[in-house]
């Protein structure tokens, strides 16, 4: 029997937040032999416009089936959506019936507004973390985490973190092997620990050492290869000795 996944949308939602999560469930279900059935939802149903201008056809809240998992995505319209009484009632009801309630980025604000995050450890995009902590003082905001699991609540940071979270969900459902195969099919990392910094080490390096910015970009595009020191020195156009000396210097 398919696992029912509800994806809650609202005007000016972020398209890739929704699409990334749904792609993980789609691919994992095909690999795992237990398909997921995804239902995009909105307050009134019909076409909902994303911030990019593309639209998704949705089912109205009143016609929603019972869900195993509810995912609330982010978007420019989250501030208006979090004040909608119908959405809050729906989210609170799902917390009593669904196995998991999840958010991507500022989708966590809708969960917080419903009271579901009080006393819980959560995350959201780093740019919005302070605003969430100030607006919802009962919520413990982990500003630098990729995704956080606290009871039935899963929260994640930006777009790619939503994919990380979804991979963790399918691994919980279908096993680590299906999670790995799904990540491989999508050409993404299988497992970035949920508590890992939202700022990758490579990005930090790039910001502090411009002379290696081209090399770091090349590394990110070739992580599937065996990257030896010799390979990196050659790509940087340096002798091995020079590369070791310069790359290994303390960076200001």
Is residue 196 predicted with pLDDT exceeding 70? no
Closest Cα to residue 113, out of 156, 150, 83, 146? 83
- Do 153 and 219 share a domain, yes or no? no
Q: In angstroms, what CA-CA distances link 94 with 8, 137, 163, 219?
A: 11, 23, 22, 43
Residue 191 within any structural domain of the chain:
no
- Do 240 and 172 share a domain, yes or no? no
- Do 165 and 216 share a domain, yes or no? no
- Count the domains in the chain: 2
DSSP 94: H
- Do 20 and 133 share a domain, yes or no? yes
Residue 127 within any structural domain of the chain:
yes
- Do 169 and 216 share a domain, yes or no? no
Q: Of 186, 217, 232, at which residue does a domain stop?
A: 186
At 219 the pLDDT is: 82
Is residue 208 predicted with pLDDT exceeding 60? no
Q: How does residue 205 score in pLDDT terms, banded at 50, 70 and 90? A: very low
Which domain range does residue 242 map to? 201-247
The residue ranges of DSSP E strands in 68-136, in sequence order, are: 69-72, 100-104, 121-122
- Do 79 and 152 share a domain, yes or no? yes
- Do 67 and 148 share a domain, yes or no? yes
Kindly state the percentage of the chain with pLDDT values over 70.
88
Q: Which residue carries 């997921």 as its tokens?
A: 36
- Do 242 and 159 share a domain, yes or no? no
- Do 157 and 80 share a domain, yes or no? yes
Residue 231 within any structural domain of the chain:
yes
Is residue 137 predicted with pLDDT exceeding 80? yes
- Do 156 and 215 share a domain, yes or no? no
User: In terms of C-beta density within 10 A (0-12 exposed, 13-18 middle, 19 or more buried), how is residue 188 classed?
Assistant: middle
- Do 141 and 213 share a domain, yes or no? no
Residue 68 within any structural domain of the chain:
yes
CA distance 235 to 229: 10
Of 11-20, 59-68, 197-206, the least confident = 197-206
Residue 193 within any structural domain of the chain:
no
- When pLDDT is averaged across residues 212-219 and rounded to a whole number, the result is 74
Rg (C-alpha) for the chain, rounded Å, is: 20
What tokens does 130 get? 């302070």
pLDDT tens for 39-90 read 999 999 999 999 999 999 999 999 998 999 999 999 999 999 999 999 999 9
- Computed over every residue of the chain, the mean pLDDT equals 88
Residue 194 within any structural domain of the chain:
no
Q: How does residue 237 score in pLDDT terms, banded at 50, 70 and 90? A: confident
CA dihedral 227, 228, 232, 237 (to 10 degrees): -130
Given a contact cutoff of 8 angstroms between Cβ atoms, the answer to whether 140 and 155 are in contact is no
Residue 39 within any structural domain of the chain:
yes
């Amino acid at each position: 029997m398919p696992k029912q996944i509800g994806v809650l949308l609202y005007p000016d939602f972020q398209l890739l937040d929704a699409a990334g999560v749904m792609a993980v469930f789609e691919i994992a279900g095909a690999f795992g032999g237990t398909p997921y059935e995804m239902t995009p939802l909105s307050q009134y149903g019909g076409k909902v416009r994303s911030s990019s201008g593309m639209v998704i056809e949705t089912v109205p809240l009143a016609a929603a089936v019972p869900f195993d998992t509810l995912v609330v995505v982010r978007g420019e319209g989250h501030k208006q959506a979090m004040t909608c009484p119908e959405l809050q009632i729906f989210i609170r009801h799902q917390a009593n019936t669904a196995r998991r309630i999840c958010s991507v980025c500022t989708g966590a604000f809708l969960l917080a507004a419903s009271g579901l995050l009080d006393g819980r450890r959560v995350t959201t995009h780093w740019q919005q973390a302070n605003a969430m902590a100030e607006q919802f003082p009962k919520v413990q905001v982990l500003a630098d985490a990729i995704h956080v699991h606290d009871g039935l609540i899963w929260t994640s940071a930006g777009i790619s973190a939503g994919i990380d979270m979804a991979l963790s969900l399918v691994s919980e459902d279908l096993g680590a092997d299906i999670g790995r195969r799904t990540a491989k099919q999508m050409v993404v990392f299988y497992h970035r620990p949920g508590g890992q910094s939202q700022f990758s080490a490579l990005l930090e390096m790039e910001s502090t050492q411009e002379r290696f910015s081209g090399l770091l970009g090349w590394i990110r595009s070739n992580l599937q290869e065996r990257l030896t020191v010799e390979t990196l020195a050659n790509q940087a156009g340096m002798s091995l000795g020079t590369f070791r000396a310069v790359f290994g210097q303390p960076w200001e």
